[in-house]
C-alpha cells in the first residue's frame, strides 16, 4: 500500500481546491510559521476519522471549515480525500486504488465515502485496522504524539504500543463483547422484572377466567328465560294496543262531526269579519283622503308664505347687486393708474439688466487670464519634482553600499557562531534546566492546588451526604402525609357510599320504597328514581337548588300515572306512609316568558335554575316544572331588585339559600351546615374517588423518591471515601515532587558554572565586529550628505508650491467675483420677469372688472320682471286654498256614516263567536276522552318499545329474531328464576370476560419470557468466556511484541544518541494490558534515570527513538512527521533526518518542517504560503532532488 494523493477543499486555511501528489521516499512540506503547513497533517488525521476537535486544534468540529477572510466569504462545507495505491491489497478490499473521503457541513453533519460510495466512520476505521494508519495509529507523528509519549498518563502512551503490537483489533472486540455482556445483563434484569410481574398476574387471571366461564353459563340461561318473558309481554301489549286503536277511531269520528259544525260557524263568522274588514278599509281610505286634503290646504298655505319671503329676498339681492356695481366701477378707475406705474418700472429694470450683463463679461475675461498663469506655474513645478527624483536615485546607490558593509558584518557574525557554539550549548542546558525547574515547581504548585481541590471535594461529598439525609427525611414525611390524607378520604368515601346504599337522609316512606324496589324487579321498573339522584348540581349552586326544591328533592319520578298509582298502592299496602310522585308523561314544563326573563337583567343574576343543573333529556319536563320558574342570584339585593321588576311572579333563590317566593314572601336566615347532603352526595363521592387516587399516586411517587435517595446515599458515602483516599494519595505525590526539585536545583548550579567558562571565548570576535561597525559608520555619513542635498531640493519645491498656492487663491477669488456677477445678473433678470408678470396681472384684472360691471347691470335690470311673476303666483295659491276647505267638509260627513255601519257588523260577529265557543267546548270533551285513550295507547306502545329496546340492548334481538327461542313458560316461576340467576351473577362480583383470553395470552408470554431468560443466561456465559479468551490472546501477543519493541528501542536509542542505553519497563507484569509503561533512558555520560528527569531535547529525542522502534517492528505505508525535530539542535536534526532517510526505502515519509537538516534529505519539496491573507496555497512547483 502506498499514499499517492491528498485533495483538500474548504479545510481550515485551504479555501480553494488543493491537490498534493506524493511519490516514494521523503516529501517535505515547508513554509513560514502560520502559513498553514500543519493543516495538511490535520487534514490527513481528520479524513482518517479523528473525532476530537481539540486534537485538530479547534473548539468544535465545525472549526475545520474555512471561516472566511476580509476578502472571501466563509464556505458552507469542508472536504478532504486521501488516495492509496492498494497494489499489495494490504487494505481488505478488492480495489487496486482506494480513495477515502470525509465531508462536513456547517450544520455539523458529516459524510464518509470509500471510492465515492457512502459509508460509516466505523467502516473506515475497520479498513485501516492494524495497518498503523488511522486515528489511533502511529502513521501521523507530531508534537502532540511526542507529548503523548512523554506524558505521565499510561493511556496516552499505551495506544501506540497496542497498535504496533496488533492487539487493537482484539481490544475492540473485547470492548464490543463487554458492551454486549452489559446489555445482556440489563436485558436479563428487565426480563426478570417482566417474569416476576407475569407470575403475579397468572394466578389471579386463572381464578378470574374460571369465574368468567361460570358467568357465561348463567348469562346464557338468563338470556333464554328473559327472551320468553319478553315474547309473552309483547303479545299482551299488542292486544291492548289494538283495543285502544278501535276506541280512538270511534271517538275520532264523533269529534270530526263536531269540528265540521264548528268550522261552518267559523266560516260565517269569517265572512262577517271579512265584510267588517272591507268596511274598515273604506273608512281608512276616506280618512286617508281627508288627511290628504287637509295636508294640501296646509301645503298651499306654506307655499303662500314662501312666495312672500322670496319677494322680500329679491329686494335685498337687488340692493346688494347695486352696491357691488358701485365698488367694481371704483376699482376699475384705480387700476388704470396702477397699470401706468407698472409699465414705467419694467422699462427701468431693462436698462439695469443691460449694465449687469456688461460687468459679468469683464469678470469672465479676468478669470481666463489667471487660469493661464496657474497652468504655466504647474509645469515649472513638475520639472523641479523630476530633479528631486534624480537626487533620490543617488541616495539609493549610497544605501546599496551600506548594505554591502552589512553583509560583510554578517559574514563575521557567521564565523563567530562556530566559536560561540559551546557557549550556546551550555546556555541551552542552563535554560532547559531552568525550564525543567520551573515546570517542576509549577507541577509542585499544581499538586498543592489539587490537594486543596481534593479537600474541597471531600467537603462537598460531606455536604451532599447531609443533603441526601435531609431529602430522605422529607420524602418519608411527604409519603406519610399522603398516606394519612388518602386513608381519611377513603374512610369518608366508604361512609358516603354506605349512606348512598342505605338511602340515608330520605324520608322513611321514600327510603322503604327504594329498598323494596331493589328487591322487586317489577316495582323497580315503575320507579325512575328520586329527583335528588336524577340531577347533577355544581357545588357552588347546591345550597340554592336544595333550598329551592325543598321536600321536592325526595319526590319520586315514575314513567306515567299508572305506575305512580301502582306505587302509591304499594305504599298504602305496606303502611310506609306518603310520598309525592312525578309521572314523566303527565308533567309539563313551566318556564319564564320573555318579559320575565327581561326583568332578570340586573347585576347578580346567575341563571334559571333548570339551566344550571345537568339531567337526562327524558326528565326535562319534570326538571323544568320544578325549577323552570326559579332564578338563582348572588345575593338578596339582586333577588329583591328582580322581584320588584317581575312583580313577585316567580321564585328567586340566593347562593346562601335565601328564598323570595312568588307573591313576595321571603324565607331566609342561617342554613344549618350538614355534613352529608343528599343532593351533593354523588358529587362528593366522585371528587373523593379522584382525590384518593391522586393521593395514592403521590404516595407511590414519594416512596419511589425515597428508594432513589437511599440508593444515592450509598453512592455519596462511597464518594466520600474516594475523596479521602484521593487526598491521601495527593499528599504522598507532593512529598515525591519535593525531592525531585532538590535534584534539578543541583544540576542547575553545575550548568551555571559551565556557561561562565564558555562566555570568555567570545571576546575576540566582538573586536572584529567593532572594526566593521566603524566602516559602516563612514558609509552612513556619506549617505547623510546626499540626503541633506536632497532636503534643499525639496525646500525649493515647497517654495514653488507655495507660490502656486497663492496664484490659485487669487484664481479662486476671481472665480467667486465672476460667480457673484452671474448671480446679480440672474437676480436682475428675475426681477424684470416679475415686473412684467405684475403688469400682465393688472391688465387681466382690469378686463375681468369690466365684464363683472356689465353682468351686474344686466342682473339689476331683470329684477322687476321676476317680482311681477311672483305676485301672480301668490294670488293663484290663495284661490286654491278656499276650494279645498269646502271638499274637506264633505269627506267628514261621509266618514261618520260609515262608522255607524261598522258598529252593527261587530254585534253580529260577537253572536257567531259565542255559538262557536259552545260547539268547541263539546269538541273539547270528546278530545279529552280521545287524549286519554291516546295516552293509554302511548303508554302501551312505550312499554312495548321499552321491552323491545331492553331486548335489543341486552341481546340485540328483535321480536321476529326472538321467535325461534319461544317455549312454554310459567311467567311467575320465570320471574323468580330470573331473580335467582341475577343474584347468582351479582354474587360473582365484577366479572372480567376478557380474563379467559388474557389468561391464555399471559400464560403464553410467561412461557416465552422464561425461555428468553434461559437463552440470555447461556449468552452471558458465552460472552464471559469470549472476553476471557480475548484477554489471554491480547496478553500473549502484547508480551511477545513488547519484547521486540524493547529490543528495537534499545538499538534505535543508541544510534540516535551515539551511545547510551534505554529500556521499557512494565510497572505490573501481572496486568500488562492496563499497567503503566515507564521509559528509562541513559544518554552517554549520564546515569540511568526516568524519562521525566531528562532535559527537554533529550526527552524529545528519546520519544523519537521510541516511535522509530515501533515503526521498525511494524512499518506503515506512510508516516507524517509534523515538526517533531523542533526541540532538537542542528546536529540532532541531521541525525534524525538521516535516520528517516534510512527508513524511507520501506515507508513513505512526509515531513512538515522548517529545519535545514530535514530539507536536505528530501526527495520532493512543496512550499506552503499565504499569498492572500488567511488563505493557504501550495505556491512552489514540485521539486525533485
DSSP string of 108-129, one letter each residue: S-EEEEETTEEE-HHHHHHHTT
pLDDT tens digits along 446-503: 777 777 777 777 777 777 777 777 777 777 777 777 777 777 777 777 777 777 777 7
Question: How many whole angstroms separate alpha carbon 389 and alpha carbon 1146?
Answer: 62
91 vs 472, higher pLDDT: 91
Bridge partners of 113, per DSSP, are: 101, 118
3-state secondary structure of 581: strand
- Of 606, 634, 649, at which residue does a domain stop? 649
H or E segment and range at residue 607: strand 605-608
The closest of 489, 915, 865, 911 to 689, measured between CA atoms, is 489
3-state secondary structure of 920: helix
pLDDT of residue 83: 94
846 vs 606, higher pLDDT: 606
pLDDT of residue 412: 57
12 vs 727, higher pLDDT: 12
The closest of 492, 517, 824, 474 to 680, measured between CA atoms, is 492
pLDDT tens digits along 882-929: 777 777 777 777 777 877 777 787 788 778 778 878 877 887 787 778
- The neighbour count for residue 5, using CB atoms within 10 Å, is 15
Question: How many whole angstroms separate alpha carbon 553 and alpha carbon 530?
Answer: 7
- CATH number of the domain that 92 lies in? 3.40.50.300
Question: How many whole angstroms separate alpha carbon 558 and alpha carbon 579?
Answer: 12
pLDDT of residue 757: 57
The closest of 964, 941, 971, 935 to 238, measured between CA atoms, is 941
What are the CA-CA distances from residue 724 to residues 7, 456, 728, 738, 798 (Å)?
Answer: 54, 11, 6, 22, 84
Average pLDDT over residues 404-431: 65
- The neighbour count for residue 805, using CB atoms within 10 Å, is 10
Answer left, alpha or beta for residue 84, where phi above 0 means left and psi between -120 and 50 means alpha: beta
- CATH number of the domain that 637 lies in? 1.20.1060
> Is residue 856 situated within a structural domain?
no
The closest of 1082, 1091, 1161 to 1121, measured between CA atoms, is 1161
Question: How many whole angstroms separate alpha carbon 1041 and alpha carbon 1035?
Answer: 10
Q: Count of H helices and E strands in the chain? A: 22, 26
Report the relative pairing of strands 581-583 and 556-558 from DSSP bridges. parallel
- Residues in CB range of 212: below 8 A, 6 or more apart: 991, 992, 993, 995, 996
pLDDT tens digits along 624-672: 999 999 999 999 999 999 988 888 888 999 998 899 988 888 988 876 5
The closest of 673, 628, 669, 636 to 653, measured between CA atoms, is 636
Q: What is the mean pLDDT of the chain?
A: 78
> Is residue 45 situated within a structural domain?
yes
Average pLDDT over residues 786-795: 73
> Is residue 707 situated within a structural domain?
no
Instruction: Kindly tell me if the per-residue pLDDT of 113 is higher than 50.
Output: yes
Phi, psi (deg, nearest 5) at residue 484: -65, -45
The closest of 25, 6, 15 to 72, measured between CA atoms, is 15
Question: Cα 479 to chain center, whole Å?
Answer: 36
Question: In the chain, how many domains are there?
Answer: 2
Average pLDDT over residues 849-878: 71
pLDDT of residue 658: 92
955 vs 153, higher pLDDT: 955
Q: What's the CA angle centered on 994, arms 989 and 998, to 5 degrees?
A: 120
- The neighbour count for residue 629, using CB atoms within 10 Å, is 21
**41, 32 Cβ separation under 8 angstroms:** no
| DSSP alpha helix (H) spans, 8-66 | 38-47
Residue identified by cell 342682473 is 859
212 vs 762, higher pLDDT: 212
Instruction: Kindly tell me if the per-residue pLDDT of 715 is higher than 70.
Output: no
Question: 820-842: buried (b, 16+ CB within 10 Å) or exposed (e) per residue?
Answer: ebeeebeebeeebeebbebbeeb
Q: What is the DSSP letter of 75?
A: P
What are the CA-CA distances from residue 136 to residues 124, 128, 773, 1143 (Å)?
Answer: 12, 10, 57, 22
**853, 327 Cβ separation under 8 angstroms:** no
Average pLDDT over residues 591-612: 90
Average pLDDT over residues 191-219: 79
Report the relative pairing of strands 614-615 and 651-654 from DSSP bridges. unpaired
> Is residue 1122 situated within a structural domain?
yes
Question: How many whole angstroms separate alpha carbon 232 and alpha carbon 972?
Answer: 12
Phi, psi (deg, nearest 5) at residue 783: -65, -35
> Is residue 464 situated within a structural domain?
no
> Is residue 290 situated within a structural domain?
no
Instruction: Kindly tell me if the per-residue pLDDT of 152 is higher than 50.
Output: no
Question: How many whole angstroms separate alpha carbon 413 and alpha carbon 774?
Answer: 15
Name the CA radius of gyration of the chain, rounded: 61
Which structural domain, as residue segments, surrounds residue 1? 1-139+1116-1185
Percentages helix, strand, coil for the chain, rounded to the nearest 5?
A: 75, 10, 20
> Is residue 547 situated within a structural domain?
yes
User: pLDDT-based confidence at 948, cuts 50/70/90?
Assistant: confident
Question: How many whole angstroms separate alpha carbon 414 and alpha carbon 863?
Answer: 130
Average pLDDT over residues 829-838: 71
The closest of 54, 62, 61 to 144, measured between CA atoms, is 54
- Residues in CB range of 262: below 8 A, 6 or more apart: 916, 919, 920, 923
> Is residue 627 situated within a structural domain?
yes
The closest of 634, 628, 677, 674 to 658, measured between CA atoms, is 634
330 vs 99, higher pLDDT: 99
Report the relative pairing of strands 614-615 and 535-536 from DSSP bridges. antiparallel
Q: pTM value?
A: 0.37
The C-alpha cell at 506 is 330520605
- The neighbour count for residue 1176, using CB atoms within 10 Å, is 26
Question: How many whole angstroms separate alpha carbon 1036 and alpha carbon 1053?
Answer: 26
Report the relative pairing of strands 630-633 and 651-654 from DSSP bridges. parallel
One DSSP character per residue, 366-384 reads HHHHHHHHHHHHHHHHHHH
pLDDT tens digits along 963-999: 888 888 888 888 888 888 888 888 877 777 777 777 7
184-198, 366-380, 724-738, 1035-1049: which has the highest mean pLDDT? 1035-1049
pLDDT of residue 1185: 44
- Residues in CB range of 764: below 8 A, 6 or more apart: 419
Amino acid at each position: 500500500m502506498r499514499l499517492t494523493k491528498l485533495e483538500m477543499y474548504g479545510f481550515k486555511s485551504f479555501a480553494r481546491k488543493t491537490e498534493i501528489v506524493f511519490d516514494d521516499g521523503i516529501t517535505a512540506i515547508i513554509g513560514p510559521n502560520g502559513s498553514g503547513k500543519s493543516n495538511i497533517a490535520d487534514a490527513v488525521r481528520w479524513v482518517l476519522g479523528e473525532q476530537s476537535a481539540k486534537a485538530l486544534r479547534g473548539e468544535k468540529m465545525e472549526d475545520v471549515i474555512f471561516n472566511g477572510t476580509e476578502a472571501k466569504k466563509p464556505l458552507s462545507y469542508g472536504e478532504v480525500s486521501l488516495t492509496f495505491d492498494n497494489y499489495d491489497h494490504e487494505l481488505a478490499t478488492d480495489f487496486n486504488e482506494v480513495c477515502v473521503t470525509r465531508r462536513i457541513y456547517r450544520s455539523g453533519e458529516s459524510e464518509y465515502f470509500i471510492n465515492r460510495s457512502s459509508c460509516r466512520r466505523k467502516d473506515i476505521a475497520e479498513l485501516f485496522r492494524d495497518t498503523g494508519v488511522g486515528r489511533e495509529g502511529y502513521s501521523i507523528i507530531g508534537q502532540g504524539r511526542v507529548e503523548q509519549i512523554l506524558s505521565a498518563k499510561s493511556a496516552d502512551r499505551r495506544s501506540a504500543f497496542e497498535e504496533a503490537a496488533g492487539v487493537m483489533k482484539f481490544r475492540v472486540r473485547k470492548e464490543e463483547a463487554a458492551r454486549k455482556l452489559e446489555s445482556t445483563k440489563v436485558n436479563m434484569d428487565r426480563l426478570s422484572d417482566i417474569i416476576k410481574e407475569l407470575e403475579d398476574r397468572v394466578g389471579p387471571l386463572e381464578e378470574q377466567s374460571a369465574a368468567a366461564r361460570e358467568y357465561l353459563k348463567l348469562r346464557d340461561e338468563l338470556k333464554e328465560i328473559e327472551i320468553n318473558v319478553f315474547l309473552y309481554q309483547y303479545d299482551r301489549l299488542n292486544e291492548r294496543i289494538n283495543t285502544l286503536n278501535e276506541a280512538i277511531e270511534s271517538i275520532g269520528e264523533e269529534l270530526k262531526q263536531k269540528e265540521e259544525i264548528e268550522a261552518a260557524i267559523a266560516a260565517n263568522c269569517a265572512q262577517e269579519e271579512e265584510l267588517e274588514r272591507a268596511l274598515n278599509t273604506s273608512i281608512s281610505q276616506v280618512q286617508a283622503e281627508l288627511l290628504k286634503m287637509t295636508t294640501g290646504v296646509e301645503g298651499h298655505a306654506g307655499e303662500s308664505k314662501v312666495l312672500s319671503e322670496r319677494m322680500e329676498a329679491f329686494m335685498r339681492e337687488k340692493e346688494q347687486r347695486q352696491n357691488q356695481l358701485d365698488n367694481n366701477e371704483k376699482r376699475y378707475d384705480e387700476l388704470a393708474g396702477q397699470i401706468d406705474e407698472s409699465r414705467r418700472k419694467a422699462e427701468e429694470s431693462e436698462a439695469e439688466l443691460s449694465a449687469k450683463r456688461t460687468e459679468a463679461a469683464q469678470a469672465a475675461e479676468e478669470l481666463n487670464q489667471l487660469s493661464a498663469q496657474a497652468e504655466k506655474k504647474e509645469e515649472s513645478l513638475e520639472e523641479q519634482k523630476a530633479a528631486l527624483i534624480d537626487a533620490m536615485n543617488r541616495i539609493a546607490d549610497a544605501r546599496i553600499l551600506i548594505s554591502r558593509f552589512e553583509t560583510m558584518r554578517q559574514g563575521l557574525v557567521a564565523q563567530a557562531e562556530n566559536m560561540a557554539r559551546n557557549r550556546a550549548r551550555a546556555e541551552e542546558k542552563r535554560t532547559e534546566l531552568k525550564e525543567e525547574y520551573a515546570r517542576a515547581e509549577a507541577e509542585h504548585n499544581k499538586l498543592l492546588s489539587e490537594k486543596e481541590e481534593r479537600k474541597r471535594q471531600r467537603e462537598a461529598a460531606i455536604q451532599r451526604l447531609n443533603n441526601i439525609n435531609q431529602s430522605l427525611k422529607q420524602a418519608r414525611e411527604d409519603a406519610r402525609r399522603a398516606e394519612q390524607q388518602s386513608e381519611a378520604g377513603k374512610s369518608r368515601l366508604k361512609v358516603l357510599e354506605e349512606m348512598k346504599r342505605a338511602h340515608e337522609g330520605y324520608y322513611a316512606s321514600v327510603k322503604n320504597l327504594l329498598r323494596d324496589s331493589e328487591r322487586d324487579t317489577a316495582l323497580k321498573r315503575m320507579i325512575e328514581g328520586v329527583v335528588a339522584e336524577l340531577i347533577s348540581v355544581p357545588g357552588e349552586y347546591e345550597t340554592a337548588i336544595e333550598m329551592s326544591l325543598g321536600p321536592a328533592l325526595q319526590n319520586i319520578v315514575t314513567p306515567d300515572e299508572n305506575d305512580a298509582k301502582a306505587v302509591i298502592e304499594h305504599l298504602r299496602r305496606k303502611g310506609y306512609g306518603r310520598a309525592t310522585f312525578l309521572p314523566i308523561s303527565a308533567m309539563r314544563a313551566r318556564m319564564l316568558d320573555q318579559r320575565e326573563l327581561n326583568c332578570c337583567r340586573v347585576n347578580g343574576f346567575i341563571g334559571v335554575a333548570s339551566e344550571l343543573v345537568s339531567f337526562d333529556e327524558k326528565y326535562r319536563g319534570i326538571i323544568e316544572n320544578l325549577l323552570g320558574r326559579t332564578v338563582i342570584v348572588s345575593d338578596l339585593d339582586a333577588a329583591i331588585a328582580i322581584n320588584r321588576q317581575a312583580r313577585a311572579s316567580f321564585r328567586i333563590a340566593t347562593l346562601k339559600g335565601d328564598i323570595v317566593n312568588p307573591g313576595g314572601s321571603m324565607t331566609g336566615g342561617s342554613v344549618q351546615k350538614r355534613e352529608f347532603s343528599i343532593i351533593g352526595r354523588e358529587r362528593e363521592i366522585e371528587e373523593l374517588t379522584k382525590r384518593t387516587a391522586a393521593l395514592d399516586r403521590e404516595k407511590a411517587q414519594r416512596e419511589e423518591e425515597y428508594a432513589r435517595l437511599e440508593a444515592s446515599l450509598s453512592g455519596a458515602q462511597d464518594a466520600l471515601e474516594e475523596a479521602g483516599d484521593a487526598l491521601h494519595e495527593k499528599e504522598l505525590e507532593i512529598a515525591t515532587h519535593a525531592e525531585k526539585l532538590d535534584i534539578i536545583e543541583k544540576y542547575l548550579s553545575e550548568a551555571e558554572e559551565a556557561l561562565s567558562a564558555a562566555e570568555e571565548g567570545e571576546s575576540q570576535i566582538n573586536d572584529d565586529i567593532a572594526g566593521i561597525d566603524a566602516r559602516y559608520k563612514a558609509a552612513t555619513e556619506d549617505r547623510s550628505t546626499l540626503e541633506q542635498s536632497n532636503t534643499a531640493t525639496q525646500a525649493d519645491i515647497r517654495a514653488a508650491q507655495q507660490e502656486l498656492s497663492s496664484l490659485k487663491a487669487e484664481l479662486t477669488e476671481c472665480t467667486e467675483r465672476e460667480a457673484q456677477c452671474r448671480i446679480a445678473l440672474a437676480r436682475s433678470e428675475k426681477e424684470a420677469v416679475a415686473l412684467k408678470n405684475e403688469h400682465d396681472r393688472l391688465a387681466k384684472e382690469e378686463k375681468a372688472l369690466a365684464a363683472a360691471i356689465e353682468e351686474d347691470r344686466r342682473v339689476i335690470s331683470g329684477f322687476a320682471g321676476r317680482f311681477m311673476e311672483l305676485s301672480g303666483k301668490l294670488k293663484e295659491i290663495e284661490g286654491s286654498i278656499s276650494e279645498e276647505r269646502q271638499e274637506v267638509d264633505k269627506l267628514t260627513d261621509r266618514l261618520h256614516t260609515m262608522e255607524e255601519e261598522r258598529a252593527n257588523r261587530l254585534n253580529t260577529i260577537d253572536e257567531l263567536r259565542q255559538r262557536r265557543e259552545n260547539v268547541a267546548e263539546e269538541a273539547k270533551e270528546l278530545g279529552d276522552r280521545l287524549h286519554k285513550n291516546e295516552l293509554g295507547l302511548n303508554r302501551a306502545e312505550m312499554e312495548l318499545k321499552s321491552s323491545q329496546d331492553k331486548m335489543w340492548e341486552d341481546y340485540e334481538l328483535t321480536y321476529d329474531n326472538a321467535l325461534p327461542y319461544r317455549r312454554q313458560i310459567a311467567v311467575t316461576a320465570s320471574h323468580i328464576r330470573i331473580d335467582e340467576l341475577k343474584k347468582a351473577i351479582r354474587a360473582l362480583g365484577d366479572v372480567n370476560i376478557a380474563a379467559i383470553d388474557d389468561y391464555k395470552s399471559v400464560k403464553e408470554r410467561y412461557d416465552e419470557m422464561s425461555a428468553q431468560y434461559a437463552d440470555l443466561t447461556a449468552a452471558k456465559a458465552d460472552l464471559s468466556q469470549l472476553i476471557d479468551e480475548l484477554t489471554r490472546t491480547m496478553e500473549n501477543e502484547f508480551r511477545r511484541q513488547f519484547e521486540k519493541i524493547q529490543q528495537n528501542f534499545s538499538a534505535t536509542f543508541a544510534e540516535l544518541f551515539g551511545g547510551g542505553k534505554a529500556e521499557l519497563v512494565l510497572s505490573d507484569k501481572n496486568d500488562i494490558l492496563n499497567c503503566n509503561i515507564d521509559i528509562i533512558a541513559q544518554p552517554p555520560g549520564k546515569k540511568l534515570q526516568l524519562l521525566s528527569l531528562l532535559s527537554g531535547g533529550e526527552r524529545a529525542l528519546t520519544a523519537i527513538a521510541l516511535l522509530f522502534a515501533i515503526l521498525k517492528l511494524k512499518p506503515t505505508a506512510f508516516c507524517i512527521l509534523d515538526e517533531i525535530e523542533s526541540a532538537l539542535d542542528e546536529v540532532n536534526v541531521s541525525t534524525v533526518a538521516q535516520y528517516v532517510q534510512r527508513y524511507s526505502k520501506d515507508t513513505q515519509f512526509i515531513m512538515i518542517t522548517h529545519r535545514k537538516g530535514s530539507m536536505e534529505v528530501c526527495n520532493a519539496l512543496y512550499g506552503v504560503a499565504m499569498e492572500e491573507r488567511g488563505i493557504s496555497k501550495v505556491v512552489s512547483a514540485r521539486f525533485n532532488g
